[in-house]
Amino acid sequence: MINKISKTVLFIVVIVIIVWGFSDSYSSLNIDNIVHVVAIGIDKSDNSDSNIKVSFQFINTSSGSGSEGSSGGDTSSVITSISSDTVNKAINLMNSYIGKELNFSHCKVIVFSEDFAKEGISTEICTFINNEEIRPSTNIVISTSDANSYLKNANPNIEKIITNYYDTFELTSNFTGYSDDSTLGDFYNKLFHPFQGNTAILGRTFEKVSNSSASQVGSENNNSNSSSNEESQNSTGSSSKESSNSSNTNPSQGTNQEQDSSNSQQNSSSGQNSGGNNSQEDSSGASLEISGERGTQNVGIAVFKDDKYVGQLTELDSICHLLITNNVDSFLISVPIENFPDNVLDLSVSRSKNSKITVDTSSQNPDISISVYCEAKVLTIDKGFNYEDSDFLEKISRKAEEVLKGYIVSYVHKTSKEFNSDIASFGNYSLAKFLTTDDWQKYDWASKYKNATFNVNVNINVISSILFSGNNN
Amino acid sequence: MENTRIGNLEAIALILTITVNHVISNINKTIISSTNSSAILNTLYISIIALIISYIIYVFLKKFPTFDILDISNFLGGKTLKTIIGLLFFLYFVIFSATLLKNFALCIQLIYYPSTNVFFIIFIFLIVAVFVCNLKNNSIYRSNLLTIPLIALSIIFLFIGNIDDFVFESMFPILGNGVNATFLSGISNLFAFQGLLHLLFLPPHLKDITQLKKITLLSIVFSALYLIISISIILFLFDTTVSNSLLMPLYSAARYIEFGTFFQRLDSVFVLTWIISFVSYLSIIISTCCNILKKSVNAKSKKFSTILIAFTMLVITLLFKNYAISVFYIDIIYKYAFFTLLCISVAILFMAYLCKTYRVKSLNPKISVRGGTQ
C-alpha cells in the first residue's frame, strides 16, 4: 500500500516538474504571442546613426477575408521598416514595436538592395543562417532598387497570399531558366569556400500598371518604346482599371515611382558591367515588355565574389548557368532561320542528360571543356515549312547549337574575365587531379580562373514540332 | 522468472545503438575536421581496423564463454583487478554518456524549447531511461531493436532526400589533409566505434554464445555502414569549413530536405527518431553500469543502482558550463580514455588467454585448446 502511494506521489511530482519546466516554451511559442515574418528586406540606412534599414513583411491576418479589398494582394501583407546597427538589434526593436515576438519559420525571401550587397553581406547571411527558425531554403534576392521597394511592389496578382507567390521562385527557375533558385543554405555553403562564387536571384522593380501608363521591365527602354507601351496598355486594359483602384490604396506609390527613376540609372550601369548586353532583351534581341499589377520581376542572376556583389547576368546567361549546373528542366531559345517569318524560330529546349565538364590543370592555366546535351521541340510553325524533313530538322539543330554555344561562351567569359567568380563551380571538377588539399591550394584555382580557357561543345537534337508537323503547301 | 538473455538481433542492435548515438552527437564532424576530403577513405580505413580489433576481441572472449571483461579480470588478477577495471569502465560510461546527453539536450533546447532550462530536458531523458531500465524481460533490448530500423531508415532517407544537392567531387583530393592525417593520426578516429568497448560486456547476456563471432562482426559492419553514410551526407552536402562549424551537422542536413511545398520541415521527424534512439542509448548505458556495479561492488538493488547512476549523470551534465567544454571533453579527453581502456582491456584479454592456454596445456598437454569450453 505504501509502495503504491509513493509511486503515485512520485508520478505526480514528475508531472508537475515537467509542466513547470516546459510552460515557458509553450507560452513563448504560442500563436497569440508571435507574428510571422514572410520576407525581410535589407537596405543601407538613410540615418547616419545606424548602418542598416531592415524591412519586415508580415501577413496581415485581420484582412484574411479580403474585406479591405481583395483585388490588391498588398492589403494582405504589412511592411514595417526599422533602422539599426545590426539585424539582431533590428529584430529586437521590432519585437518591442509590435509587442509580439517575430517568428521567421515562414520567412520565404530575404531581399538585399544592390547598393548594400556591393559592400558585402556575409555578416547578415551568417546571422540569418544561425537563426534556427529561418529555413536554408529561404530565397536570396538582390534587388536592383532598394529592398523595401521590392517588397512593396511584390504584390501577388494571381496568388491569394504573398507566400504563394514567393513559393513560385523555384518552379519558375526550373521551367524558364531566367533566374537561379538561390537559397540561403546554398549561399552560406559557398560563402567561405576557397574558390566558388555565389549567386542570388536578381529582382527588378518597375512601375505597376496604372490608368496613365503601362510599365516595362526594362527601365532604360521606358522612353524609347513608348509606342509599345501603348499597345501593351491596350491589351491589358481591364487589369489596368483594377490596378488603378488598388494603387490608389497603396500609400507607397510615390516611393515606388521615385525608385523607378533610380532603377533606370542602375540598370543602365549594370548593362555596361555585363559587357554592354542589354539585360532586358530576350533571346531574339527584342525588348521585353511586361505590364501588370505586380511591380517586380526576377530576371537574371546577381553574381558575388566572396560576399560582395560584383555584377549581374542576363536571362540568357542565367539559362547557360543553369544548363551547365544541371538546374534547369526546360527553356526557350530563338534561332534565326532564313526565309522564316520574322526570321526567327522558337525552340523549347530540355536537357537530355547532365552536362559533362572536364578540367585540365596540366598547363599553367586551367583548360575547361564543357559539353551540354539537349533535346528540342519546335514551337513555331508556319506555312511552307515541313518538320518531317530530316534535313531541315538537322539544319535547325546545327543552327540552335551555334546560337546556344555563343551564349555559353559569352557566359563563361563573363564569369571568368569580367567577374573572376567561379559560380558554376568548375574548380570542383579539378579536385580529383590533386592528391592532397595542400597540392590543390598551391595550384591556386581562385586566381587562375580568370585566365582559364574554355572549350564549349553543344549537342542539340531537334525532335519535331509538338502537334503539327508543319505545312508543305 | 525474468528472461535476461538476448538474441543475435538484439545484440547487434545494442552495439549499433552505441555508434549511432555517438554519430548523432557529432563524431562525424570530428572526423571531417581532422581529415578534410579524405573523411570517407579514413572511415573505411578505421572500419577495417575496428573489424580486426573486434575479431581479436572475439578470439580472446571465445576462450571464456559467458565471461565478460570483469569476470576475465577476476580470473586474471582477482577481486582487486575486477574492481579497478569495473570502476574505470563505470566512470567512462557514465561521464561520457552524460556529456553526450548534455550536448544533445542543449541542441534540443536550442531548436525546440528556447525558454526551457536545459535541466528539465535532461531530467526527462533520465526519468524515461530509468523507467525503461526497471522494466522486466529485457525491455531495453527489445525496445532498442524496434528503434534501430527507424534509425536505419532515417539515415537512408536523409541520404536520398539530399542527393540532389550533393557535390560528389567533395571527396577529392582523395588524401585530404595528407597521408599522415588520413592513415596515421587518423587512426584516432577509431574512437567512433564506441561499440567495441560494449562488446566486452556482451557474452554473459547472449542466448547462444556460439553466435558471438557473427554478432561481433555484423555489429561492426553495420556501425561502419552507418558511419560512412552519415559522413558522406555531411561531406557531400556542406563545404568542410561549414561542416566544421555546425553544431549538429546531421540535423542541419535534415533541414535541407524538402519535397516541393507539401513535404517541408521534415527535420522534426528526424529529431523525434533521434530522441527515441538517445533514450534507448541512455537505458543501455545505465543498465550496463548497473551490471558493472553489481559485479564490482556487489550492489544488490537494481532500482537503487539505476536511480543512483541517473542522478550521477544529472550532476555531471550540470558541471559542463557550456557546449565548448563538453565538445573538448568528447574530442580530446574521452578519445584518450577510450584508447586507454581499449588497450587495457585487450591486454587483459590477451594475458588471460595466455594464462588459460598455459594452464590447460600444463594440466593435460594432449588436450587441444582450440574450441575448449570453460
- Sequence-distant (6+) residues with CB within 8 A of B132 are B139, B140, B143, B279, B280, B283
Comparing A211 with A58, which gets the higher pLDDT? A58
Q: What is the pLDDT of residue B305?
A: 92
Phi then psi dihedrals of residue A204, to 5 deg: -120, 145
pLDDT, chain B, mean = 89
Q: What is the CA radius of gyration of chain B?
A: 21
Find the closest chain B residue to A426 by CA distance. Answer: B169
Give the closest of A18, A185, A196 to B256, CB-based: A185
Q: What is the pLDDT of residue B362?
A: 66
Contacts of A432 in chain B (CB under 8 A): 169, 172-174
Q: What is the pLDDT of residue B86?
A: 94
Q: What is the pLDDT of residue A288?
A: 56
Q: What is the pLDDT of residue A211?
A: 40
Task: Report the C-alpha dihedral over residues A325, A328, A332, A333, rounded to 10 degrees.
Answer: 10
DSSP structure class, residue A87: H
CA–CA min distance A20, chain B (Å)? 9
- Is residue A462 within 8 A of residue A396, CB to CB? The reply is yes
Q: What is the pLDDT of residue A32?
A: 77
**CA dihedral for A95, A97, A100, A102, sign (positive or negative):** negative
Find the closest chain B residue to A13 by CA distance. Answer: B127
Q: What is the pLDDT of residue A274?
A: 34
Residue A273, number of CB atoms within 10 A of its CB: 17
Average pLDDT (B109-129) is: 90
Average pLDDT (A418-422) is: 93
Q: Which of residues 262-291 of B touch A (CB under 8 A)?
A: 264-265
> pLDDT (tens digit, 9 = 90+) per residue, B214-235?
999 999 999 999 999 999 999 9
Which stretch of DSSP H or E encloses residue A395?
helix A390-413
What is the SS3 string spanning B249-302? HHHHHHHCCCECCCECCCHHHHHHHHHHHHHHHHHHHHHHHHHHHHHHHCCCCH
Q: What is the pLDDT of residue B350?
A: 95
> pLDDT (tens digit, 9 = 90+) per residue, B269-298?
899 999 999 999 999 999 999 999 999 888
Top mean pLDDT of A110-119, A224-233, A272-281 is at A110-119
Average pLDDT (A251-274) is: 35
B34/A contact by beta carbon, under 8 A: no
In this prediction, residue A167 has a pLDDT band, given cuts at 50, 70 and 90, of confident
Over 80: is that where the pLDDT of A385 sits? Answer: no
Find the closest chain B residue to A19 by CA distance. Answer: B120
Q: What is the pLDDT of residue B128?
A: 92
Q: Do A25 and B123 touch (CB under 8 A)?
A: no
> pLDDT (tens digit, 9 = 90+) per residue, B188-215?
999 999 999 999 999 999 988 889 999 9
Q: What is the pLDDT of residue B80?
A: 92
Question: Of the given ranges (A49-53, A292-296, B78-82), which has the lowest mean pLDDT?
Answer: A292-296
CA–CA min distance B146, chain A (Å)? 26
Burial A18-50 (b: 16+ CB within 10 A, else e): eeebbeebeeebeeeebbbbbbbbbbbbeeeeb
Question: Burial level of A98, CB count in 10 A (0-12/13-18/19+)?
Answer: middle
Average pLDDT (B165-179) is: 91
Q: What is the pLDDT of residue B287?
A: 93
B247/A contact by beta carbon, under 8 A: no
Q: What is the pLDDT of residue A8?
A: 86
A193/B contact by beta carbon, under 8 A: yes
Q: Do B255 and A429 touch (CB under 8 A)?
A: no
Average pLDDT (A356-362) is: 93
Residue A138, number of CB atoms within 10 A of its CB: 21
In this prediction, residue B102 has a pLDDT band, given cuts at 50, 70 and 90, of very high
Closest CA to A22 of B254, B102, B121: B121
Give the closest of A25, A185, A190 to B116, CB-based: A25
pLDDT, chain A, mean = 77
Comparing A236 with B48, which gets the higher pLDDT? B48
Q: Do A21 and B119 touch (CB under 8 A)?
A: yes
Find where cell 559485479 sits. B295
Top mean pLDDT of A143-152, B41-50, B246-255, B364-373 is at B41-50
Find where cell 524496434 sits. B146
> pLDDT (tens digit, 9 = 90+) per residue, A430-442?
999 999 999 998 9
Which stretch of DSSP H or E encloses residue B52?
helix B39-62
Average pLDDT (B158-184) is: 92
- Tell how strand A34-44 and strand A101-103 pair up: parallel
Find the closest chain B residue to A22 by CA distance. Answer: B116
How many residue pairs bridge chain A and chain B with CB atoms within 8 Å of each other? 88
Give the closest of B111, B173, B258 to A431, CB-based: B173
Average pLDDT (B125-133) is: 92
Helix (H, G, I), strand (E, B) or coil at B303: helix
Taking the alpha carbons at both ends of chain B, their separation in whole angstroms is 26
Comparing B220 with A9, which gets the higher pLDDT? B220
Q: What is the pLDDT of residue A472?
A: 56
Top mean pLDDT of A48-57, A249-258, A259-268 is at A48-57
Residue type, B357: T
| Orientation angle between helical segments A184-191 and A122-129, nearest 10 degrees | 120
Over 50: is that where the pLDDT of B83 sits? Answer: yes
Q: What is the CA radius of gyration of chain A?
A: 26
Cα dist. B320→A54, B51, B113, B313, B314 in Å?
A: 37, 34, 19, 11, 11
Contacts of A325 in chain B (CB under 8 A): none
Average pLDDT (A360-382) is: 90
Comparing A244 with B28, which gets the higher pLDDT? B28
Contacts of A429 in chain B (CB under 8 A): 169
Lookup: cell for B133: 531500465
Average pLDDT (A235-263) is: 34
pTM for this entry? 0.83
> pLDDT (tens digit, 9 = 90+) per residue, B319-370?
888 888 888 888 888 889 999 999 999 999 999 999 888 876 666 555 444 4
Over 60: is that where the pLDDT of A74 sits? Answer: no
In this prediction, residue A384 has a pLDDT band, given cuts at 50, 70 and 90, of low
Distance CA A166, CA A142 (A): 14
Phi then psi dihedrals of residue A347, to 5 deg: -120, 135
